[in-house]
DNA sequence: CATGAATGAGCTTTCATTCAT
DNA sequence: TATGAATGAAAGCTCATTCAT
């Protein structure tokens, strides 16, 4: 490679970097590395290499390794939260909002296999401290789910005396278990197609009419 | 040795091991150590000390550390499976069987705080391989749940077209999420009291009548 | 460039540097940072920040970090040397000159706590190379001490057959040990008051008359 | 090497090890490694290799690296202390005791070049915490020196009004400076021969009679 | 002259597992 | 069977120095 081609190569690489600030670059690299190597094999050096930066550069943007992992969760979770906020703002029934939530939850993970592996399998191997951090991030999401449920009760769509915490745990626990199974089965079947049935089960339960 | 004789040899050795008091001693010690120190602080040497044996002795009964952990899960899961088998044999409706399953699941973990911490929080930090192993153990339990669901459909108690896999994931995911939340909240409230409501939600869903 | 022209070039560059305010700024910043944070916590970035310059600027004035530290020692040592030169020029006995030297040595460090910490404790943590450099700087000072001793012998004030090197090591070793103890005791007592006794001990020894 | 010769080789190595318990083995290895590589290049792995043990074995005998270094100082210092205790017990004048102390101090370091390098140059590069530890160890030694001085005053051998702390600092500072210079000059001259002159200087001072 | 973002080499310590007794 | 001393691989983080701007 002569020094001209090096120069242009440099420009391309640089503009890629500039368009994706290093912070995002590293977070995205972490998702890929964790998904492909597993949580315990996701060394900082691997993440750095994947991000195209030096090991030390990581520490200009993150306090420590745990900080990277929490950031991964926070950054990606914000996709769910933002979508859910839009759904909440829509002028539709609570039942429809719940449906859209399930559908959104499934779609985001369906469309990003790496992310699905990371959130459903890998990040759960983190230690208790990190898991508490992750739970804090989750709280925002679950608070929005609670709002759907509360509004549904208010509008008479959902069972009047329903325990919101239990209902939330049923909705989230169900979605989570279904997605984890799907990931552990190597994402063989079409997750999206399950949404209507899941929604129906949650709304009307298992009892025959 | 062909694979048949290997299989029988395996069965004999396994049953011998499990009858030996030290095997159980070590498994029980592992539960205590993991519950009190957390998964990542549960070194083999700590388990050995708690069991009152030398480090090396562990390896006379277990192939490696992962083998201890899988054994913990298998031994303890058998309590759930045995109870559930009794429930299945009872002459009651499928709905009642489901209720008893939930009640049993909650009760076992409610009555053994160490076990609850280990199964809901600590063992989930294990790596993918171990979690696949654990899932295999779980399968027996979930197969029994599937039988309740299939019988319920057959007898017209549960929705005819219901997807059994989804329903199973809803039931298990809901129970699991509820128990995990309870453990993470330091087991502050009475888990047992939730069983009727959980059962009602799973049966009739959230929709107002 | 032959070694003569190199030598003069060196002199010019050196004198240019030392007149530049930033050079002194950085040396003074280094003293403060080392005294307050300790040798091993005195990162180049901290010194730069304390001096109010960018990290990179340091390298316009110093070859590397070691060069800063040697410069600190050289700059500060020159105070001792200059004072000692004045003392040597005074028209007093050698014994009096020795007294004034001790008194000066104590006074300079007594009046600059930061400097005392840096020279007695922190700079001694440097590696062998740097300590050899520091010793070179010290040589000028010790050479002046040797002159006091030689003159004293010549004038019949000091013991005729006295080994000058040993005597120098006794004088310097004694002063150094006393000051280091004083610094390690957090400079609790009055160093200056010790000068007469130290002088007396060095002159007449411990033996009872 | 056939397995017989391996066996005998093994016996020899083992008996060497057994005669020198691992603790001492490691301390001695540390002295050699520090002397030959310098304090900052004395990695735990090098010490382990020199001691003929695995890295991990170090940590069966020492809390951490600092613990090795403190132990080096403590173990070696005890030679000085034990010798000095014998000297104190001798039925000779205080002046003679002082002489023997100097002679002993010089001899121990003169006879172990590695140790001389380690105590005079390398260990002084340790951080403040370690140096405080080292100072604690030194205190025992200096306390014995103080006893010689106090007894000398009592018996009218040493100057009546003499400040013991100052005198101790003169004696130790002088010895220390002389030895350090000798080490920095690559131990070129005969340290032992200096003892009488040093003693004379300390006793009678520099002043001409 | 001055900047400061980026670099990347380097090392202590833990702990699952082995194996001579 | 049981022991427990010994092993040795493996990784997060710091910071002196550079160099494009």
Tally Cβ neighbours within 10 Å of residue B83: 18
Report the percent of chain A where pLDDT is more than 90: 80
> What is the average pLDDT value for chain B, to the nearest integer?
90
Residue A177 at interface with chain B, using a CB cutoff of 8 Å: yes
Q: Using an 8 Å Cβ cutoff, are C98 and C199 in contact?
A: yes
CA of C27 to C1' of F16 (A): 17
The residue written with tokens 């977070």 in the block is A27
The verdict on A64 touching B (C-beta cutoff 8 Å) is: no
Distance between the alpha carbon (CA) of C56 and the C1' atom of F18, Å:
8
Q: Which residue of A has its CA nearest to B155?
A: A208
Answer whether any strand F atom is within 7 A of the Cβ of D56: yes
**What digits encode the pLDDT tens for the residues A133-177?**
888 889 999 999 999 999 999 999 999 999 999 999 999 999 999
Q: How many residues does the structure list for chain B?
A: 209
Strand F close residues, chain C 38-57, CB < 7 angstroms: 40-41, 43-45, 55-56
D206 in Cβ contact with C166 (< 8 Å): no
CATH class given for the domain over C70-209: mainly alpha
Assigned CATH topology for domain D66-204: Tetracycline Repressor; domain 2 (1.10.357)
CB < 8 Å to A149, chain B:
206
Cα torsion through D46, D47, D53, D56, rounded to 10: -90
C: neighbours with 3+ CB pairs under 8 Å? Answer: D
For chains B and D, tell me whether 3 or more CB atom pairs sit within 8 A of each other. Answer: no
Q: With helix as H, strand as E and coil as C, how does C167-187 read? A: HHHHHHHHHHHHHHHHHHCCC
The mean pLDDT of D182-209, rounded to a whole number, is 95
Mean pLDDT across D127-143 = 86
Segment D186-192 shows an average pLDDT of 95
Mean pLDDT score, A90-106: 98
- In chain C, ranges of CATH 1.10.357.10 domains: 70-209
Average pLDDT, chain D: 90
A87 CA to centre of own chain:
17
- Is strand E in 7 Å reach of the CB of D41? yes
In the 157-176 stretch of chain A, whose C-beta falls under 7 Å of nucleic acid strand E?
Answer: none
The radius of gyration of chain A from alpha carbons, rounded to an integer in Å, stands at: 20
Strand F, CB < 7 A, residues 14-43 of C: 40-41, 43
pLDDT at D78: 92
Residue B74 CB contacts under 8 Å (≥ 6 apart), including other chains: B137
Name the phi and psi angles at D207, rounded to 5: -65, 140
Whether B129 and chain A come into contact, CB under 8 Å, resolves to no
CA gap D71, D77 in Å, rounded: 9
**Higher-confidence position of C131 and D13:** C131
Indicate if CB(B184) is under 7 A from strand F. Answer: no
Q: Which of residues 69-88 of C touch strand F (CB under 7 A)?
A: none
Does A125 sit within 8 Å of B126, measured CB to CB? Answer: yes
Determine if strand F comes within 7 Å of the CB of C125. no
Given this model, what pLDDT does residue A18 score? 41
CA dist list (Å): B125 to A21, B93, B119, B129: 32, 38, 10, 11
Across residues D124-146, what is the average pLDDT? 87
Provide the CATH number for the domain formed by A65-209 in this structure.
1.10.357.10
Q: What is the pLDDT of residue B126?
A: 78
pLDDT of residue C53: 97
- Show which positions of strand E are touched by protein (CB under 7 A): 1-20
- Identify which has the larger pLDDT, A6 or D26: D26
Confidence of residue B7 (pLDDT cuts 50, 70, 90): low
Q: d(Cα C80, Cα C141) in Å, to the nearest integer?
A: 7
> Which comes out higher in pLDDT, residue A17 or A43?
A43
CA–CA min distance C5, chain D (Å) = 32
**Nearest residue on chain A to B193, judged by CA atoms?**
A166
Phi-psi region of D127 (alpha: psi -120 to 50; beta: other; left: phi over 0): beta
- Give me the mean pLDDT over the A122-131 stretch: 81
CB contact under 8 Å between B204 and A207, yes or no, is yes
Comparing C6-10, C23-27, C174-178, D54-58, the range with the smallest average pLDDT is: C6-10
At residue B39, the pLDDT reads 87
Confidence of residue A1 (pLDDT cuts 50, 70, 90): very low
Model pLDDT, residue C20: 64
Shortest-distance nucleotide from B42 CA to C1': E15
Spatial contact of D68 and D26, defined as CB atoms under 8 Å apart: yes
Neighbours of D165 (CB within 10 A): 16
User: Cα distance from C88 to chain D (closest Cα, Å)?
Assistant: 18
Dihedral sign, CA of B100, B106, B110, B116? positive
Chain B nearest-CA distance from A55, in A, is 25
Find the residue closest to F2 using CA and C1' atoms.
B57
Count Cβ–Cβ pairs < 8 Å, chain A vs chain B.
Answer: 137
CA distances to A142, B90, D75, D78, D98 from D84, in Å: 74, 88, 15, 10, 10
Please, which positions of strand F sit below 7 A from a protein CB?
1-20
Instruction: Dump pLDDT digits (tens) for C111-157.
Output: 999 999 999 988 888 777 788 888 888 999 999 999 999 999 999 99
Range C29-34 average pLDDT: 95
* Positive/negative CA dihedral, C165, C169, C175, C176: positive
d(CA D47, CA D27): 9
Cβ atoms of A163 and A100 within 8 Å: the answer is: no
CB proximity B37–strand F (7 Å threshold) = no
Q: C19 falls in which pLDDT band (50, 70, 90)? A: low
Whether A183 contacts chain B with CB within 8 A: no
Residue C209 has pLDDT above 90, yes or no: no
Q: Give the per-residue pLDDT at C149.
A: 98
The region that residue C195 occupies, defined by phi over 0 for left and psi between -120 and 50 for alpha, beta otherwise, is: alpha
- For the cut 50, the answer to whether the pLDDT of residue D150 exceeds it is yes
Here the tokens at position B123 are 């063992």
Q: Distance, in angstroms, between A205 CA and closest chain B CA? A: 4
Q: What is the pLDDT of residues C63-109, one digit of tens each?
A: 999 999 999 999 999 999 999 999 999 999 999 999 999 999 999 99
Residues sharing a CB contact under 8 Å with residue B84, sequence separation 6 or more, in sequence order: B101, B104, B141, B144, B145
Q: What is the pLDDT of residue C115?
A: 93
CA B74 to C1' F1, whole Å: 25
Chain C contact for D151, CB < 8 A? no
Residue C56's nearest nucleotide, by CA–C1', is: E3
Q: Exposed, middle or buried by CB within 10 Å (0-12, 13-18, 19+), for B112?
A: middle
Give the model confidence (pLDDT) of A44-77 as tens digits: 999 999 999 999 999 999 999 999 999 999 999 9
- Comparing C-alpha atoms, which of D167, D146, D170 is closest to residue D88? D146
Tokens linked to A202: 């949650």
**Any CB–CB contact under 8 A between D133 and chain C?**
no
The residue in chain A having the minimum alpha-carbon distance to the alpha carbon of residue B181 is A169
**D201 interface with C at CB cutoff 8 Å:** yes
- The structural architecture, per CATH, of the domain C1-62 is Orthogonal Bundle (1.10)
Nucleotide at minimal C1' distance from the D66 CA: E12
Residue contact C170–D202, C-beta within 8 A: yes
Note whether C20 and C53 are within 8 A (CB). Answer: no
Q: Residue B205 and residue A209: Cβ atoms within 8 Å?
A: no
Comma-separated ranges of CATH 1.10.357.10 domains in chain D: 66-204
Q: How far apart are CA D172 and CA D141, in angstroms?
A: 10
What pLDDT, on a 0 to 100 scale, did the predictor assign at position B19? 58
Residue A11 pLDDT greater than 70, yes or no: no
What pLDDT does D89 receive? 97
Q: Is the pLDDT of residue A14 over 70?
A: no
Please write the tens of the pLDDT for every residue from B66-102: 999 999 999 999 999 999 999 999 999 999 999 999 9
Q: For A62, left (φ over 0), alpha (ψ -120 to 50), or beta?
A: beta
Q: How far apart are the first and last CA of chain A?
A: 73
Structure tokens at A14: 């640089």
Q: Is the pLDDT of residue C49 over 80?
A: yes
Neighbours of chain A (3+ CB pairs under 8 A): B
Which residues does residue D158 pair with via DSSP β-bridges, in sequence order?
Answer: C207
Alpha-carbon torsion, ordered B74, B23, B124, A148, to 10 deg: 50
Q: Give the per-residue pLDDT at D3.
A: 46
Q: What residue ranges of chain B are covered by domains with CATH 1.10.10.60? A: 1-62
C150 CB-near residues (< 8 Å, 6+ apart) = C164
Q: Are D201 and C167 in contact (CB under 8 A)?
A: yes
Let me know: does A22 contact A57? Beta carbons within 8 Å: yes
């Amino acid at each position: 490679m002569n020094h001209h081609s090096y120069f242009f190569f440099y420009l391309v690489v640089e503009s890629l970097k500039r368009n994706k600030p290093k912070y995002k670059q590293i977070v995205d690299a972490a998702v890929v590395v964790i998904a492909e190597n597993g949580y315990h094999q996701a060394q900082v050096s691997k993440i750095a290499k994947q991000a195209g930066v030096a090991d030390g550069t990581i520490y200009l943007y993150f306090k420590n390794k745990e900080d990277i992992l929490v950031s991964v969760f926070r950054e990606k979770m914000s996709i769910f939260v933002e979508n859910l906020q839009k759904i909440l703002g829509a002028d539709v029934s609570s039942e429809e909002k719940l449906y859209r939530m399930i559908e959104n939850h499934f779609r985001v993970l369906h469309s990003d296999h790496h992310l699905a592996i990371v959130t459903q399998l890998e990040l759960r191997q983190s230690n208790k401290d990190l898991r508490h951090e992750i739970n804090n991030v989750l709280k925002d999401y679950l608070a929005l789910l609670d709002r759907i449920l509360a509004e549904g009760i208010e509008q008479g769509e959902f069972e009047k005396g329903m325990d919101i915490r239990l209902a939330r745990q049923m909705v989230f626990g169900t979605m989570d278990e279904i997605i984890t199974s799907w990931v552990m089965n190597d994402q063989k079947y079409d997750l999206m197609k399950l949404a209507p049935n899941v929604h129906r089960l949650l709304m009307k339960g298992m009892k025959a009419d």
